[in-house]
Amino acid sequence: MSSSLRIVLSSDHAAINLRRAVAAHVTSRGHEVLDIGPETPESTHYPDHGAAAARHVTSGDCALGIVLCGTGQGIMMAANKVSGIRCGVCSDVFSARMIRAHNDANMLALGARVIGDGVALDIVDAFLDTAFEGGRHATRVDMIMALEG
């Protein structure tokens, strides 16, 4: 991956603390973070946060996005509704590598109630450090994107 990227982060109320840990980690790696998530623990709607982050990626404002909620699943589903987004939820390093290498994922979703901070940061590193392999995988990514119709 490029040495310095602009990365958007967002979450719902369930993942504020993990989002902050991810933001600090990503910043410490030399990337610019645009954190658009909530700051208070009042209940908030993950679809709004997933879609807002996804729009920063599709507009070109940010190269990649990382979104978080309790399981990662709901916010991932919301992000994927934005045309041009390929977001995968990961709870292990191998999956994070593969969504970049084989699926050219431009967003990562994490579940704050599923994984701890240490695992989350390892997943983030794998996501950021892995490049898309192209080749036969490019054909498949094109097929996925064609489904948007």
Q: 90 catalytic, yes or no?
A: no
Tokens, residue 132: 């898309």
Task: Check the CA dihedral 136-133-57-11 and report its sign.
Answer: positive
Which one of 25, 56, 69, 90 is the catalytic residue?
69
Which one of 13, 25, 49, 102 is the catalytic residue?
102
Three-state DSSP class for residue 93:
helix
Tokens, residue 10: 């967002």
Task: Mention every residue, 6+ apart, whose C-beta is less than 8 A from residue 29.
Answer: 125, 128
Q: 87 catalytic, yes or no?
A: no
- Sheet with 32-35, side-by-side order of all strands: 32-35, 6-11, 64-69, 107-111, 87-89
Tokens, residue 3: 């040495």
**Residues tagged active-site:** 69, 102
